[in-house]
């Protein structure tokens, strides 16, 4: 996907960008190799000794992937909301802490 779809799209729009890689273990070696060959000194992310990255960045950093962290937090908050009590009397009766 990176080689066949994303990079042609990015290069069509502009050649002045920096690519951020989150360092996912599943694609770590393959993606780093591709980025080293095609975007030397134009990518940041989890790096190895021979990488030609602009900057080292911790894997799965919330600063690097804010949209992903926002999205999964939103989904979690939406899915795992306990039912709220209809009135205060039910809550006082059910709650063993009060």
- Report yes or no on 34 lying in a domain: yes
- Report yes or no on 78 lying in a domain: no
- Report yes or no on 12 lying in a domain: yes
pLDDT digits (tens, 9 = 90+) for 49-77: 889 988 887 766 666 555 666 777 787 88
- Report yes or no on 71 lying in a domain: no
The residue segments making up the domain with residue 2 are 1-65
Report the C-alpha gap between 4 and 1 in whole angstroms. Answer: 5
Report the C-alpha gap between 89 and 81 in whole angstroms. Answer: 20
**Total-model pTM:** 0.57
How many independent structural domains does the chain possess?
1
- Report yes or no on 44 lying in a domain: yes
- Report yes or no on 23 lying in a domain: yes
- Report yes or no on 19 lying in a domain: yes
Q: Choose between 22 and 60: higher pLDDT.
A: 22
């Amino acid at each position: 996907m990176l080689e066949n779809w994303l990079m042609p799209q990015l290069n069509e729009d502009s050649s002045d960008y920096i690519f951020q890689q989150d360092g996912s273990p599943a694609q770590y070696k393959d993606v780093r190799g591709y980025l080293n060959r095609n975007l030397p000194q134009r990518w940041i992310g989890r790096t190895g000794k021979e990488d030609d990255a602009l900057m080292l960045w911790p894997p799965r950093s919330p600063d690097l992937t804010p949209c992903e962290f926002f999205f999964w937090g939103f989904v979690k908050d939406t899915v795992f909301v306990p039912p709220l009590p209809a009135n205060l009397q039910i809550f006082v009766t059910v709650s063993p802490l009060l």
